[in-house]
Structures are given as C-alpha cells and as structure tokens.
Amino acid sequence: MTDTRQIPLYRTIWRWHFYAGLFVIPFILVLSVTGAAYLFKPQIDRWEERAWRGLPAADAVDADAQVAAALAANKGAAFHYYRIPEAPGDAAIVHLGLPGGAMRDVAVSPQGRVIGSADPDARWSAWLARLHGSLLVGRSGKLLVELAASWAIVMILTGLYLWWPRGRGLAGVVWPRLSLGGRAALRDLHAVTGFWVSGFALVLLFTALPWTDVWASGFRAVRAEMGWVSGVQDWKGGADPHAAHDHHAMAAAPPPGHASRAPLEYIVMRARAEHMPAPAIIQPPGAPNLFGPPNGNTWTLTTLTQNRPLVRKVSYDPETSLEVSRSGFADKHVIDRAVGYGIAWHEGQLFGLANQLVGVATVLALFTLAISGLLMWRRRKPDDALGAPPLPRDPARLKGVAAIVLLLATFLPLLAASLVLLWIVDRLILPRLPRAARWLGVARA
C-alpha cells in the first residue's frame, strides 16, 4: 500500500496543518478557558449580585422612587434604563451615565434605599468578554483573535483531510487505540478527538465572526448593499455606524419625566404582563440605545438576554403609557436571525444548561487537541529545526490546494492578508536567510 505521507497533496496539507496548528495553539488554550467561563455569564452575574437578592419585600416603593433614589445618590447622573427585579425581594438595578462618561449600575432595595453599585465594565463577565475577544489589548488584540480564528478554520479543515480513513478500519478513526501506547496512541487521540469535535468547533469559529473587526465590517457593508438590514443590528462587531452612541457618549441622556407624563411604575406594571425574559429593562424616552441610535420619544421595554431569538421590544406612549409598537426576532431579516441563533449558541444560551455543557465539552476537546498536538510536535522535533513536515517533491501538482486556499482567503480577509505577508517573506526575505529557512523547514533544494 502506498504511504500517503509521500503523496505531494498529502504532504502539502500536512504542512499547512502543522504551521496553522503551531500558530493557533496558544490562542486555543487562552480562548478555550475564557470561552468556557463566559458560557456561564448569567450564573456569574447572579453570583456577583447575590447581596442584592432575596431582600425583605415589605413596604416596597414604586419604580419612580427607586430611580429617584439612585439619581439622588449620583448627582448629575443621567437615567439610562431600569432593570426590573426578577423576584419581589430583589433590588432594582438603575443603569446611570455619570457626568464623567462612566457607567454605573445602582442597586436600589424594594424600600427605595441605595444598597450598592457596580461599574458594568468591572464585572467578571465583562472582563472575561474583553479577554476572550481582544486579549485585553484593544483593537490589535481583536485583530489577532480574528487572525487566529481564520487559521483555526484552516487547521480543522486540513486536519479532517489528514484524518480521512483511506481504507482503514474504525480503530484509530472513530475511537483511539490507546492500548498501543506512546506516539501511536497520542496520534490516535489527536486525530479521533479532532474528528468528533470538528463540527462543533467550526460552528463556534464561524459564529464568532460577526463579533470580529475586519470580517464583521465587511459583513455590515454586504448586509447594507444587499438590502438585508431590517432594524438595528443587535450584536457588536465591525465598524459601527453608531459609534457615537457608545457608553461614554451616552452620559447626557435625559432624566425620567423629560417629555414623559406617564410614571415609570405604569410601564413596569405593563411590562410584568409581558413576561419578558430576564434581564428585562425599561428605557425612558430619549434614552441611549445599547446597539444603535437613541431611543425615540417612547418608553421602551426590552431584554438583555443572550438568547437572541427571545429578544423583543415593546414601546409605550409617554403620555398615556399605552402600547404603540412592538417588534420581535421574527421581524428581523433572515440573515440577522441566522446570526442571532449562532451567537446565542456560541454564548451557550440557546438551549440553556444543555447548550452550556455542549460548549464546555467542545472546549475540553479543543484543549485536548492543542495539548496532544503540542506533545506530538515536541516528540518529533529535532534539536536544530522547527520540525515541519518535509516539502512535497512535486509542488506543480497542487493546483487544487491553491484553489481551496484562494476560496478560504476570499471569505476570510485576514487570512488572505497573512498569506500575502507569508508569500513576501518566503520569496523575498527567507532566500537571504538560508539558516532561518532551513530551521523553518521551507528551504528548497
């Protein structure tokens, strides 16, 4: 039987898999840990707010008095939204914009006393989101994460090609032959784990793209050009046309009662009948919208749930508190609905706890892939070289590989940019550095 490792196509894809894996392994380790933790954002947020729950419910005041207490404790602040307590003994959360531009979540007891406050950006879940999305280094980190995601897609697709049975039995293909021990068992563990997790991993990677920078900016432009936009985009990614309405620009929102005669308490009473999934919020007329331009001249009820298909919005007249409009997930363009389902799955909230557990299992499998791949590389790496698979002897027969790479690069712009950079390094720089070329495994005979 011919050794597939001697076939030029196999060797080329093996090399792509090697270089892609070596680049993305550090990112997989960091993003797996932070992503697994972020899956449990609702539980983390509840834990952080544990002192604001289960309070005495007797002698409760209305919502207007709670907002007034929060504003009195934060002079010059602007009222952005009121988060409806989930249970009678829970504190209401009044989200304020402070004069300096910072945000503040103020907890007000059922009796109208301010019992605590928190900076939304200092919450554990917010820190995890920044670490997971940008490695805590801003836009450059976000670009690095997007580049790593692009190369991770290459790694998984090339790994599936290398895994393909080619006439072998199920052992070492569907289950690992751990009894072999040593290098063979490690190879089986890596290949079989990669096969079982590949579908889930690709879903995680593709559903992360709407949050990125370059890819998401292009996606925004395509949506607008194709007429796929229906309402405000309710996820943050790419160049935001409403960037002027970010948190720090929202501090000048009008206080409650500005252009409104209907008390907030009336809106709360109507909101409870809607059974909006928690965390449900009510925004006053003119308040800043979390994902777009400022709220119109209405009271607006919506939800901050991560399960996007459950998100809906109801608006109420500021004079009479009567409903004037409503919109929901079904009103969005089919493209936005597809993205919404993907984001809800990615964040572990589409199917509740089951979705979270599937996410954790996917992360553990990716972690296993990264560690086993690293160990395999260390075992075969010579002391004087990187240990890349050998170059194919007949690169002229690899037009199919070039076509696949071109297709991927068209869909993933940062991958395309990195390929151009690699081509420049390979053609113009490495020929002048023969020792570096030999160490990297790209020297040509």
At residue 245, the pLDDT reads 41
Paired tokens of 287: 């308040």
Q: Is the pLDDT of residue 257 over 70?
A: no
Between 171 and 188, the higher pLDDT residue: 188
Average pLDDT of the residues in 46-50: 97
pLDDT tier, 443 (very low <50, low <70, confident <90, very high otherwise)? confident
Percent of the chain with pLDDT over 90: 72
Which secondary-structure segment (H or E) carries 81? strand 78-83
Distance CA 74, CA 72 (A): 5
Q: Is the pLDDT of residue 230 over 50?
A: yes
Tokens of 333: 């363009």
| Residue 102 confidence (pLDDT) above 50 | yes
| The pair of three-digit structure tokens given for residue 371, joined into one six-digit string | 């560690």
- Which residues, 6+ apart, have CB-to-CB distance to 353 below 8 Å? none
What confidence score (pLDDT) does residue 11 get?
A: 84
The pLDDT, as a whole number, for residue 4 is: 63
User: 365: which residues sit within 8 A by CB, 6+ positions away?
Assistant: 193, 196, 197, 200, 201
pLDDT value for 5: 59
Q: What are phi and psi of 329, to 5 degrees?
A: -60, -35
* pLDDT value of position 444: 64
Q: What is the band of 189 on the pLDDT scale with cuts at 50, 70, 90?
A: very high
Query: Is the predicted pLDDT of residue 130 greater than 50, yes or no?
Result: yes
- Residue of 291, 310, 314, 293 whose CA lies nearest to 302: 314
Q: Give me the pLDDT at residue 133, please.
A: 96
Phi/psi at 175 (nearest 5 deg)? Answer: -135, 150
Res 265 pLDDT > 90: yes
**Percent of the residues in the chain that have a pLDDT greater than 70, as a whole number:** 90
One-letter amino acid at 22 equals L
Band (pLDDT 50/70/90 cuts) for residue 246 is very low
Between 34 and 257, the higher pLDDT residue: 34
Of 133-142, 166-175, 352-361, the one with minimum mean pLDDT is 166-175
pLDDT at 414: 96
Query: What is the chain's alpha carbon radius of gyration, rounded to the nearest angstrom?
Result: 27
* Helices 214-226 & 138-163 angle (0-180, nearest 10): 90
The side-by-side arrangement of strands in the sheet containing 92-97 is 114-118, 103-108, 92-97, 78-83, 280-283, 299-303, 312-316, 323-328
Give the pLDDT band of residue 7 (cuts 50, 70, 90): confident
Q: Which DSSP category does 354 fall into?
A: H
- Is pLDDT above 70 for 8? yes
Q: Is the pLDDT of residue 301 over 70?
A: yes
Q: What average pLDDT does the segment 229-242 reach?
A: 68
Please give the mean pLDDT across all residues of the chain. Answer: 89
Average pLDDT over residues 242-266: 56
The pLDDT of residue 285 = 93
Residue 405 confidence class, pLDDT cut points 50, 70, 90 = confident
pTM of the model: 0.89
* 170-174, 185-189, 279-283, range with the lowest pLDDT: 170-174
Whether the CB-CB separation of 104 and 117 falls below 8 Å is answered with yes
d(C-alpha 124, C-alpha 407), whole Å:
39
Closest to 367 measured CA to CA, from 134, 28, 90: 28
For position 97, what pLDDT does the model report? 96
pLDDT higher than 50, residue 243? no
Quick check: 412 pLDDT over 70?
yes
Per-residue model confidence (pLDDT) at position 260: 58
Lowest mean pLDDT among 23-27, 223-227, 280-284, 336-340: 223-227
Report domain extents, the chain.
Answer: 4-38+137-210+355-440, 55-120+243-330
DSSP H or E segment with residue 94: strand 92-97
253 near 71, Cβ under 8 Å? Answer: no
Name the residue among 138, 202, 144 with its Cα closest to residue 369: 202
Higher pLDDT, 4 or 375: 375
What's phi and psi for 323, nearest 5 deg? Answer: -65, 135
Residue 53 has pLDDT above 80, yes or no: yes
pLDDT tens digits for range 310-346: 999 999 999 999 999 999 999 999 999 999 999 999 9
